[in-house]
Amino acid sequence: MSTTIPSDPKKLIEKMRAGDPASLARLISRIEYRNHETKVLVELLYPYTGNAQIWGITGPPGAGKSTAVDCMITHLRAQNKKVAVVAVDPSSPFSGGAILGDRIRMQQHTSDHSVFIRSLGTRGRHGGLSHSTKEVVLALDAAKFDVILVETAGVGQTELDILKLAQTVIVVLVPESGDSIQVMKAGLMEIADVFAVNKSDRPEADKLVRELTQMVGLNPHDEHSWMIPVCKTEAVRDVGMIELIENVQKHQDYLSKSGKRDEKTKTFLKEEMIDILTEELKNSIQFLFTTDGGKAILDQLVNKEIAPYEAAKILSGNR
């Protein structure tokens, strides 16, 4: 294989699909630019997608998500699976260096070409973080990764929205993150497919496991429902991680057999369509304000001669 990286999108994708890590890295950088080319890349990648398993991992800061991911990579590699990690850092301007520090731990895998790790930490522009993540996942899927792990600290709505692209969501909790009532109130029952109670050597761990298990049982269910398993893990000592992965695998099998995988894909694609169309319309709305008519309405609004929804209605008519 030649060592040059093709600039033509089709050739770049071809080389990426043949397993060239440099082409994959370049493609992802080009996706992150978010310019007129993004569309072209999405259209070219899309036919090659739909084969990867996408696992989401979330939990409070300090729950040990990165350590768990690190450990999962090792086990998945032992199964000879190609693994990619997309780590989405919360877009806080105040976040310290701890998150980046975690990433460095994963470096042990960097010499392995069947492992790809990318951190998306920059704040969103032109559609933002959540959009780039989706497209990076498309690229990794097309690049024939078997498992794509999307890791995000569950801080902020944008970060949680990202989890919608995962087929299986693992919620990592620690005894300190509170009791099951908080979990319920936080709506985590709705997003979790598998619970991991990490740092399970701590005294309160068994209590949390018990509570979560009870809570899962209280959920309305029949013989066709997925019962969210509650796994005890100690990622740092590689305890319970194989069982966790087995449970994720069971959930993936459940999705395929029940037809829920297709349902999930459909819902996700529908939302994706709504996002694309909204984004395009937003651009055309922004253009309105460069016209004399748009400027005049804005002036009227500033002077309180009209009210916001009335102004919107007039602008709508001008489109």
Q: Give contact residues for a copy of itself (rule: CB under 8 A).
A: 39, 42-43, 46-47, 49-50, 59-61, 90-94, 96, 123-124, 128-129, 154-160, 177-178, 182, 186-188, 262, 265-266, 269-270, 272-274, 276-278, 280-282, 285-286, 289, 298, 301-302, 304, 307-312, 315-316
d(CA 179, CA 220): 21
Q: Which residues pair with 150 in a beta bridge?
A: 56, 86
Q: Which is nearer to a copy of itself, 50 or 217 (CB)?
A: 50
C-beta closer to a copy of itself: residue 47 or 203: 47
What distance in Å separates the CA atoms of residue 180 and residue 168, rounded to the nearest whole number?
Answer: 21
- Measured from the CB atom, is 237 or 270 closer to a copy of itself? 270
Nearer to a copy of itself, 110 or 316 (CB): 316
- What is the nearest approach in angstroms of a copy of itself to the Cβ of residue 47? 5
Residue 309 CA to residue 221 CA, distance in Å, equals 44
Distance of closest approach, residue 125 Cβ to a copy of itself, in angstroms: 10
**How far is the CA of 23 from the CAs of 43, 109, 140, 231, in angstroms?**
18, 19, 12, 38
- How far apart are CB 303 and a copy of itself at their closest, in Å? 10
Between 114 and 198, whose beta carbon lies closer to a copy of itself? 198
Closest CA to 36 of 241, 200, 280, 268: 280
Per the CB < 8 A criterion, the answer to whether 73 and 245 are in contact is no
Tell the smallest beta-carbon distance from residue 272 to a copy of itself (Å). 6
Query: Of 45 and 73, which CB lies nearer to a copy of itself in the complex structure?
Result: 45
Q: Which residues of 265-284 are buried (b: 16+ CB within 10 A; e: fewer)?
A: eeebeeebeeeeeeeeeeee
Least distance CB 270 / a copy of itself (angstroms): 6
Q: Contact at 8 Å (CB) between 131 and 70?
A: no
Could you tell me the smallest distance in angstroms from the CB atom of residue 79 to a copy of itself?
27
242 C-beta neighbours (distance < 10 Å), count = 14
